[in-house]
Structures are given as C-alpha cells and as structure tokens.
C-alpha cells in the first residue's frame, strides 16, 4: 500500500511544504528533542513512581536532579517546586547562540544558559505564547540506533 499523496519521500506534507523544510539561507537551529523536565517536589515519591512507570532505575540520582534514560532521551525530575522549570528541551549545537536567536525572534528570557554539569549547557525562554522553550547543548548525547 502506497502512502497518501500528502506524503513525499516518507515525510508528511502540510500546506504544500514538506515538513522539516528549512529556509534556504538558514541552517537548522534545533537538532531534535532531547530532554523533558518534570517538577517533582517530593523527589523520593517521584523516583518510586517513575521507576515503576519506566521499568528502570534512574541513571543519575542526586538531591537536585534525577535523570532517566528513556530510549536514548532524558526524562528529568526536578525537586525545586519554586522554579517552574518544567518543559521540553531541544538539542542545539550552540546553546548560547540558539538562546540569543530565540530572544531575537521575540521570546522572553527565563533562565540564562548555564553549565548544568559535565559540560552540558541548558537555558530556557518563554515563547510568545507563554510556553517554556528550552535549549540544551549536550556533548554526550548520542541518538539511539535507528533514531532520528
């Protein structure tokens, strides 16, 4: 069975434009989804619940952050309920320039880019609609086999 005509080369087309199409003069800023962060004020309860849900223990377990590897991607738990740092973090090659570009495009600054450990840089902004939009530069990230 062949795909519907709205699919070209295995990619879905919307409004006549192949999804993932780039402006000819710009390299893609986002490399793909990397990390989802959930606020978990009771970190011990969060670890118990997510360990059951995921069927695996966290690979990183500290009082300030708990990280799970989920198919090569990160699910992070943050205990500090005073910070609304929950959100999705998109992989980028250069976190500082990506952050600056988001501000140029009308985002509001939220959390400056900072080293969160082991050379990983992360920061986030509020998009024009109030959503947390994070960027993360992780030199250790490797896509899982067959990942896109």
Q: What are phi and psi of 145, to 5 degrees?
A: -55, 130
CATH number of 27-137: 3.10.180.10
Which positions ≥6 away from 137 have C-beta within 8 Å?
91, 92, 93, 94, 95, 98, 120, 121, 122
pLDDT truncated to tens, each residue of the chain (148 aa)? 433 333 333 333 333 334 455 555 577 889 988 989 888 889 999 999 999 999 999 999 999 999 999 988 899 998 885 556 678 899 999 999 999 999 999 999 999 999 998 899 999 998 887 888 899 999 988 776 765 5
Q: Is this structure's pTM higher than 0.75?
A: no
93's tokens? 């090659």
Domain ranges, ordered by start, for the chain: 27-137
């Amino acid at each position: 069975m062949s795909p519907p005509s709205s699919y070209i080369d295995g990619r879905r087309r919307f409004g006549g434009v192949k999804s993932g199409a780039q402006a000819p003069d710009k390299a893609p800023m986002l490399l793909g989804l990397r990390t989802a962060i959930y606020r978990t004020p009771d970190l011990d309860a969060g670890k118990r619940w997510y360990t059951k849900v995921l069927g695996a223990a966290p690979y990183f377990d500290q009082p300030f952050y708990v990280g799970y590897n989920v198919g090569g991607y990160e699910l992070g738990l943050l205990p500090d309920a005073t910070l609304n740092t929950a959100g999705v973090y998109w992989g980028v090659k250069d976190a500082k320039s990506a952050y600056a570009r988001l501000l140029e495009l009308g985002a509001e600054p939220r959390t400056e880019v900072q080293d969160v450990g082991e050379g990983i840089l992360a920061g986030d902004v509020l998009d024009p609609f109030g959503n947390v939009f994070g960027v993360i530069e992780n030199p250790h990230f490797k896509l899982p086999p067959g990942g896109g």
